[in-house]
Amino acid sequence: MVTSILLAMAMVGGTGVIIGILLGIAGEKFEVEVDEKEVAVRACLPGNNCGGCGFPGCDGLAAAIAKGEAPVNACPVGGDACAKAVGEVMGVSAGDSVKMTAYVKCAGTCEKAKDQYEYVGPEDCKLAMNNPGGGAKACSYGCTGYGNCKKVCPFDAIEIVDGIAKVNPDKCKACGKCVAECPKHLIELVPADAVCVVQCSSKDRGVDVKKVCQAGCIGCGLCARNCPSDAITVENNIAHIDQTKCTHCGICKEKCPVKIIAGVESTERE
């Protein structure tokens, strides 16, 4: 009996030793090399995994930066502090990055924009697009106001105020999720210190714009003709400001007859 027990113990112990040896060999043979720079870069990133950098989460961005496939300031959430930390790991200068924020190009509040019918259905911007005119708002380009952008914002930076989406630039991290979500393409990323942005996306003629919204751009071109830095173009009846050329002089705001140009921090148009 004792001999049988000892034999069994020897067999179990021997099997364990053999398995341990085999696992050790397999571990060495199939070992995946860890890029120390990638690990260090990942530790610098905020971990939101928002995808705003264009890569599949922070792990994907860390791998790309470590391989030299993405700049050290590619994370829109981390900002300058993150960029500098990653730059130190990679041994390069992060440079000066511009803080960006999402901006909703629509000022058609309930008071200023007309409705063409009463919408009855799910409060979802994409579903409302299946209805005539893309929703109840008479301006087919205007914000539907059902908050799909708010629902996808991971930073609670968007509120629906008086029928349109409003972005809080202090909370916005420019991840771009709201930009991708808006079915009417009303949201774009602009510098957080921008003082001149056109709050409209309508491509209708001025006379048609005025029929449905008191706040819309009429495409008159006065802003473009008076801009000293040639930062404004008018295409398809809508003005657009190139923020890389804008000098914040404010002349376009003064000349705009419908006062549709405002700054990022503005909660109300002047």
Q: Identify whether 118 is part of a domain.
A: yes
In the beta sheet, which residues pair with residue 142? none
**Closest by CA position to 77, among listed 50, 114, 104:** 50
Same domain (yes/no): 153, 191: yes
Question: How many domains is the chain partitioned into structurally?
Answer: 2
pLDDT for res 216 = 94
pLDDT bracket for residue 31 (50, 70, 90): low
Long-range pairs of 63-67 with CB within 8 A, sequence gap ≥ 24: 63/35, 63/38, 65/38, 65/41, 65/90, 66/35, 66/37, 66/38, 66/41, 66/90
List pLDDT tens digits, range 195-243. 999 999 999 999 999 999 999 999 999 999 999 999 999 999 999 999 9
Measured distance CA(139)–CA(68) in Å, rounded: 46
pLDDT tens digit string along 51-93? 888 788 899 889 988 888 888 888 888 888 888 898 888 888 8
CA distance 37 to 78: 18
- Rounded to two decimals, the pTM is 0.74
24 part of a folded domain: no
In terms of domains, do 83 and 114 share one?
A: no
- 151 in a structural domain: yes
Q: Are residues 65 and 116 in the same domain?
A: no
Rounded CA-CA distance 144/121 in Å is: 13
What's CA 228's distance to the chain center, in Å?
Answer: 30
- In this prediction, what percent of the chain has a pLDDT beyond 90? 55
Which domain, by its residues, includes 135? 100-262
**Tens-digit pLDDT profile for residues 138-176:** 999 999 999 999 999 999 999 999 999 999 999 998 888
Q: Are residues 186 and 231 in the same domain?
A: yes
Would residue 269 count as lying in a domain?
no
- Domain C-terminal end among 90, 124, 159: 90
CATH of the domain at 80: 1.10.15.40
Considering the domain architecture, whether residues 168 and 77 belong to the same structural domain is answered as no
63 with 155, same domain: the answer is: no
* Backbone torsions φ then ψ of 103, nearest 5 degrees: -140, 130
Q: Which residues contact 18 (CB under 8 A, 6 or more apart)?
A: none
Instruction: Please report, to the nearest 10 degrees, the dihedral formed by the alpha carbons of residues 14, 15, 21, 27 taken in order.
Output: -160
Burial 100-121 (b: 16+ CB within 10 A, else e): bbbbbbbbbbeebbeeeeebee
Same domain flag for 248 and 149: yes
The CATH number that applies at residue 145 is 3.30.70.20
